[in-house]
Amino acid sequence: MGDRYIINGEVYRDGSFLPETVCIHGGKIRLCAKEEAVSGGAKVTDAKGLKIVPGFIDIHTHGAVGIDVNSATADDLEKIGCFFAGNGTTSWLASVLTDTEEQTRQCIREYRAYAESGRRGARLLGVHLEGPFLASGYKGAMPEELLRKGDAELVEAYQELAEGGILYMTVSPEVEGVTEMIPVLKELGIAVAMGHSGADYATSMEAVRRGVTAVTHTGNAMRLLHQHEPAIWGAALESDAYCEVICDGRHLHPGTVRLIVKTKGVDRVVAITDSIMAAGLPDGNYHLGVNKVIVEGGDAKLASDGVRAGSTLTQNLALKNLLSFTGLPLEKVIPMLTENPAKLIGVYGTKGSIEDGKDADLVLLDGRNEIAAVLIGGKEWSMS
């Protein structure tokens, strides 16, 4: 039998909350009937009044608690994961901002060093490369001198170094050579997103046909929709691609969030943070990759030109904001932080929902949707 039971809670499954018991054995989930007897000697958590949901998955984040992914060591990555765990994020991807080849390789090596040793906190599932094949006109915080045309051989080399750990990549469809290499990225096991782009509608839709399955921070650093030229944003809304959304109330107006959710449906929206090293820290001076960033009132902007540069958002706050912005019930919002990102990056077989045999990554929420407890691999998270 199991070594832990969570009883008397409401378990999120198949779009609704059910009065079930969650049994955890060997870090995996086994669902039980509510009336099933608890085996002797097992640890029991009484979740009366609580809702049990899958652990949150953040597939786009550049750091937190004073650590920037582009310069992070394996130990630093663990510190980010520990911070995330306290906010309900049980799995994440390290988003590497466009950088030199040498530094990008170093980021990948640190990810491998992290992956090859036992670590605490949220589980780092792999790497998200945001660039370098991006459009200079929509570069945002990307260093323009490091942007380049499509180069599948470079990505193959990165993926070999990562031992398959690059799970997600952002590209601009209009950049020379990018559209042609999208099928190659898919063959490498990389989910491809389009963003930082001024692509027209036809080019964007062709990128989707070739294998793009997501849109990076929808509505930000991209050409906007026009009635005569829907552009990349129009393609994002019309296609079946997942749409990343940053729900901090700054990157997207609440009405825009509602529009995206209503247009795409709750099964095609992914709530990300796009957080930077300032997440979890007070206002002040920080950096994002090679850029100097000033955070005022929690709003991160480039010191050079005032362009917004990531966020200080955490996924527990993103959940609350989504509920507030959309007016949807909790059971409709949960997939945007769990099931959808898991499906997008290809880890739904083990994560993203509460099912028999899946990893016991769980979040317990109280009646105000505050985090009451977090379990990672069946073990209750604690900083101690």
The set of catalytic residues is 274
Query: 4 vs 75, 122, 272, 340, CA distance in Å?
Result: 30, 20, 31, 27
Reference 13, options 356, 355, 269; nearest CA is: 355
- Tokens linked to 99: 């950088």
Give helix 152-162 / helix 101-115 axis angle, nearest 10°: 30
Q: How far apart are CA 271 and CA 289, in angstroms?
A: 22
Contact 158, 105 (CB under 8 A): yes
Do 114 and 123 form a contact (C-beta atoms < 8 A)?
no
User: Please, what is the Cα angle at 324 between 261 and 272, to 5 degrees?
Assistant: 55
**Cβ-proximal residues to 169 (8 Å cutoff; 6+ apart), any chain:** 128, 129, 130, 155, 185, 190, 191, 192, 193
User: Could you give the dihedral angle defined by the CA atoms of residues 93, 278, 301 and 96, in that order, rounded to the nearest 10 degrees?
Assistant: -30
Rounded to 10 deg, the angle between the 254-264 and 231-238 helix axes is: 50
